[in-house]
Amino acid sequence: MATHVLRPGTRRRIAFDDHLPVDHRLNTFYRIGAGLMGLFLLAFGILGLTNKVGFFTTHGDTVIGLNTNGSLSVLSICVGLLLFVGMVIGGNFASTLNMVFGVLFILNGFLNLALLDGRYNFLAFHIQNVLFSFVVGVLLMFFGMYGRVGSALPHDNPYYKARHPEEAERAERIRALRESASATALQQSHRAAPTPKAVGGTETKAAETTEASETTKTAESKASENKASETKASETKAAEPPRTTDP
């Protein structure tokens, strides 16, 4: 019989750091999704209220190609404002809010599909409203689940870090070691390579040495030529007969 108790691993709280590239990209994506959907729903609700349609009428009126009444307009305005709140807060809250409303919109589409042309159709749904509810639900779920649900999340993903803290720390250490090793190799290559100044100085010194040797050779050749000419002149002078003067 085992004497130890298996304890589930504690999950870390998901926190977004905007200075990290992955966190910043996900946070921006969640904010944009919530803002776009909230803006459309808010505009749809306000336009529906301006037509002064009955609050619970089942016939309603057409706005932006969709049927609406007073209750659906107010509900759209409330959902749009909540999505705007998610856009302002961002992060994990915006992602969760998008997913929750995405599921609710899909369920709402199925529910009102069953209530079409009935006396309990208090939101005045028509078939275009049902399709719109499905589309908005899928879009909101996409905006909420992106970078959060998947089998191949990168190790620097905030959700992966929260679910697998030990593996994320191990991957972070390996990445840091690789970066330090590459930086060290780069520094060593820079130290081993000669600088342009040193190369220029070596070339100048070699040129000066060559020029000096050539100058020395020229001086020696000139000296030897002068010596040879002097020797020849002395030999010629010695070979001439002595001159005699007449009395």
- pLDDT band of residue 84 (cuts 50, 70, 90) is very high
Task: Tell me the C-alpha distance between 199 and 209, whole Å.
Answer: 15
Helix spans in 9-90 (H): 21-50, 70-89
**Residue 3 pLDDT grade (very low, low, confident, very high; cuts 50, 70, 90):** very low
Residue 197 in any domain: the answer is no
In a domain, 9, yes or no: no
Contacts of 173-177 with C-beta under 8 Å, sequence gap 24+, read: none
Assigned domain for 31 exists: no
Q: Indicate whether 97 belongs to any domain.
A: yes
CB burial class (10 A; 0-12, 13-18, 19+) of residue 55? exposed
216 within a domain of the structure (yes/no) = no
pLDDT band at 101 (very low <50, low <70, confident <90, very high): very high
117 within some domain: yes
- Domain annotation covers residue 49: no
| Highest mean predicted confidence (pLDDT) among 94-103, 168-177, 202-211, 229-238 | 94-103
Question: What confidence tier does 244 reach under pLDDT thresholds 50, 70, 90?
Answer: very low
Supply the pLDDT for residue 246: 44
Residue 183 lies in a domain: no
Domain that holds residue 109: 85-153
Model pTM above 0.75? no
Q: Which residues are within 8 A (CB) of 75 and not within 5 positions of it... i.e. 6 or more apart?
A: 45, 123
For 182-203, the pLDDT digits (tens) are 777 777 777 776 555 544 555 5
Which of these ranges, 82-86, 125-129, 188-192, has the smallest mean pLDDT? Answer: 188-192
* Number of domains forming the structure of the chain: 1
So what's the pLDDT on residue 147?
81
Tell me the percentage of the chain whose pLDDT exceeds 90: 28
CA distances from 152 to 1, 119, 125, 149 (A): 38, 48, 40, 9
